[in-house]
Amino acid sequence: MPALANPEIATCGQHALDAPWNVVVHNDPVNLMSYVAMVFRRVFGFSKEKADHHMLEVHHKGRSIVWTGTREKAELHVQQLHSHLLLATLEPAPQS
Amino acid sequence: MKLEAATDGALLLQEIPPFLFALLAEIPGRAASDDPRVGARFFPDPAADDELVEDWKSLVHPELQELFQSARETVRADLRSASENDGTRALRIPHNHTDAWLSALNQARLAITEESGFGEKDMAAEAAPNPEDPREMALFQVGFYGFLQECLVRMICSDHG
């Protein structure tokens, strides 16, 4: 394995890769509330109560962060949500 | 029209009047819209990141396209097998086709909504539609498909508690 030319940059890049990402679901006027909650239970394994909580947050606030974790898994979840025709995006989670 | 859950988990739609069966028969066609607004809704950007958006288009969109098309074909086949009796139709949605129906119904609802430019206010309207008004009839169609979707969601949720 070759020596790193600039270990500081490499470390910084690795940190960025490990930084958490949010999966956000956005409101739309078409998807039924019951359908959205059902999709949350299927994709994330939420309890009925947790699925309903996020569904209502989407409905009332326009968006809900439904999952936070690695970028790779966030992309997978967004793909799953798109396959159910939900409006979903991923975004870097704010770091304290 | 009568709806009934069969013991094998299928949803039975019986005594479907011609007008409603005609709406059901439109599901695959309405869902396969080539309107660019519908395309944008079916395949939204995953993030504000140009590189990811490009990767998404080449890797994820074809998979989603195939999934959506497969659902439409399943629904089309179920509709073809609908039986006719005394001027009404009967349709059986097998349990293992419920996901395909949910998808196709959702695709059709989204497509009609995008093509007609319906917003939150339109979707909340509860007045009886004027059959002479194509826009009101399109809204009725979205509502009818939503009703069926709701029935399927309730069946699935009662399966899983």
What's the complex ipTM?
Answer: 0.92
Nearest-CA distance B74 → chain A (Å): 16
Helices (H), B4-133: 18-25, 27-31, 36-42, 50-80, 98-116, 120-124
B141 touches chain A (CB under 8 A): no
The letter for the amino acid at A27 is N
Distance from CA of B82 to the nearest CA of A (A): 26
Cα B3 from Cα B13, distance rounded (Å) = 5
CATH class of the domain whose range is A19-92: alpha beta
Nearest to A29 among B45, B120, B149 (CB): B120
Q: In chain A, which residues have their Cβ closer than 8 Å to the Cβ of B120? A: 29
- d(CA A32, CA A47) in angstroms, rounded, equals 18
What pLDDT sits at residue B77? Answer: 98
Tens digits of residue pLDDT in A8-37? 433 334 446 679 999 999 999 899 999 999
Rounded Cα gap, residues B73 and B27, in angstroms: 10
CA distance B117 to B110: 10
The pTM of the full predicted model, rounded to 2 decimals, is 0.89
Tell me the count of A-B CB pairs closer than 8 A. Answer: 66
- Asked if the model's pLDDT at residue A3 lies above 80, the reply is no
> What string of DSSP letters covers B108-148?
HHHHHHHHHT--HHHHH--SPP-TT-HHHHHHHHHHHHHHH
Radius of gyration of chain B (CA): 17
Please give the structure tokens belonging to residue A29: 């006027």
Is A84 within 8 Å of B106 when comparing Cβ atoms?
Answer: yes
Give me the residue from A32, A35, A83 closest to B67, CB to CB: A83
Q: Does A47 touch chain B (CB under 8 A)?
A: no
Burial of A42 (0-12, 13-18, 19+ CB in 10 A): middle
pLDDT of res. B161:
55
- How far is A25 from A19, CA to CA, in rounded Å? 20
Q: Residue A24: phi, psi to the nearest 5? A: -115, 130
Asked if B156 contacts A48 with a C-beta cutoff of 8 angstroms, the reply is: no
Cβ of A85 within 8 Å of Cβ of B103? The answer is yes
The sign of the CA dihedral B153, B84, B112, A84 is: positive
Quick one: chain A helix, strand, coil %, rounded to 5? 55, 20, 25
Q: Where are the domains of chain A?
A: 19-92
Judge whether A84 is closer than 8 Å to chain B, CB to CB. yes
| Residue A12 near residue A71, CB atoms below 8 Å | no
Q: What does the pLDDT read at residue B122?
A: 80
User: What stretches in chain B show pLDDT beneath 70?
Assistant: 159-161
What's the CA angle centered on B70, arms A51 and B27, to 5 degrees? 80
pLDDT tens readout for residues A44-83: 999 999 999 999 999 999 999 999 999 999 999 999 999 9
Nearest CA distance, A61 vs chain B (angstrom): 14
Q: Please tell me the predicted confidence (pLDDT) of residue A9.
A: 39
Q: Do A32 and B107 touch (CB under 8 A)?
A: no
DSSP state of B54: H
